[in-house]
Structure 1
């Protein structure tokens, strides 16, 4: 673009205040309201989990740190909820904060109470999880399923925008859906961090043809008996089964009736007998090694 065209284009950009105003009117802008402006205190007993929540458990280390922060200086960022009915609120953002208040036996918590549709709530909850907490790849897959079912995201591009990743990565996350049901149930129990999206994508065909082997591999991953880097090879070896062992035994006798036994097993050669000359055997092998091996 020529310099004049670039300056002209920049001259037609909307003012920052106008852009900020547009963002502020969305659910994402509301969640980013600075400090505690517009927040009110609500009882933690009136807060219920969102049906759109797909995280598996809470981060206890982060929760302990958060509790200490609250004790030292109070809650910095209010939670975000939406009205569920006349008596309760649905939690959209702040699951660790609410749990911290409950464990500290603090009855009232600052909150933004927003009006949201199901679609807005599903998207806002996912954005909060993706931004403020390191989700496992499996948890991201569960959010993708939820967003599709709720009608909050209809295209791969929509999903990539909400989760803050590439479109290619969405396909990797969705590979978790091809895992055997027993394997998915296991991930629900262990938390999902044992299996990454890249490996899940590599296992999608094997999950159909050899579901038991894939499930066993994931069980071993969760037990620390197997590493992700070696999981695919382990499954292939299990499918192939143990290699067939071959064994050949040849008995020989010298003119003076001394007996020798030559054993060849799985590529290993053993010669047993009395009076063997190791130096002569080595010399014969070196001289004839080319005739003793199979040509490629």
Structure 2
């Protein structure tokens, strides 16, 4: 098994489909510039069961099928010989186009055949979908998790291969911890990744997600709501506390302005005390950790 840290492999796979079909300013140029495109009977091509993209909207497929009927299939799909000595080919990238071509009644479609390993096929499938923004956040997280579980990637490896930051990879993977009702909202497009990340540490993310969807809350409002439930997980009313002196309030404001975070200072009768930093999302937490480690 080749190491994912291999720099040439990273450059090749990190460019996604450009590594396979060359840079071009349009799909028409792609077809003209690629060598090795051939026509293959559509019934010889099978879907990849590990494709990170799971959801295909029927209306989108019908629209693409209409375009294929009128103009033909302009951009080829990428396939590899069927693994384990099977007949035909397995899709690496382009399942949406393959499905639409079937609806359009095409018997043959243009393909690029690549002889790649399971690992490379998975990388290319994820990269292509991420670059095209075809994956919903949960599908993206599941794709990353597959690479980690099956091919022993680290989060740093993934970040290098897909061209994203390590914090993006980490935050995306955290979505897998959410309960099923929240995941369904993500799949349906009712929640964005920003909404979902705000719910990860909440005591009842499903209830919060329902409220966010019903009230049409922004990501910022969702973060504020989630932070309030984290502070008071059982919804208890705040106990009245003596007002802080003016010096303490001024110091809190000074620190809050400097850090861009919520800051609370609490004094104890013994003269000791504590400083609490509140964060609205996981990106802010990463920033706190970065500053403390600097």
Could you state the TM-score of these two structures normalised by the residue count of structure 2?
0.61
Distance 1:113 1:188, change over 3 A: farther
1:32 is matched with which residue? 21
2:289 is matched with which residue? none
Distance, in Å, in 2 between the alignment partners of 1:136 and 1:49 is: 19
Distance, in Å, in 1 between the alignment partners of 2:210 and 2:63 is: 31
2:102 paired with 1:102: yes
CA contact (8 A) 1:56 1:188 kept: no
- Give the total of aligned pairs: 214
The DSSP-based 3-state class of the residue aligned with 1:150 is helix
Unaligned runs of 5+ in 2: 1-7, 23-29, 239-294
2:235 paired with 1:241: yes
TM-fit CA distance, 1:173: 0.8
Distance 1:133 1:190, change over 3 A: closer
CA contact (8 A) 1:27 1:116 kept: no
Distance, in Å, in 2 between the alignment partners of 1:55 and 1:188 is: 15
Q: Which has the higher contact order (CA 8 A, sep 6+)?
A: 2
Could you state the TM-score of these two structures normalised by the residue count of structure 1?
0.60
Unaligned runs of 5+ in 1: 1-18, 245-296
TM-fit CA distance, 1:54: 1.9
Larger Rg: 1
The DSSP-based 3-state class of the residue aligned with 1:191 is helix
- Give the superposed CA RMSD: 3.3
Distance, in Å, in 2 between the alignment partners of 1:232 and 1:37 is: 50
Distance, in Å, in 2 between the alignment partners of 1:93 and 1:71 is: 21
1:165 is matched with which residue? 164
Q: Choose the corresponding residue for 2:40, options 26, 39, 42.
A: 42
The residue correspondences of 1:210-229 to structure 2 (distance < 5 A) are 210=203, 213-221=204-212, 227-229=218-220
2:201 is matched with which residue? 205
The DSSP-based 3-state class of the residue aligned with 1:205 is coil
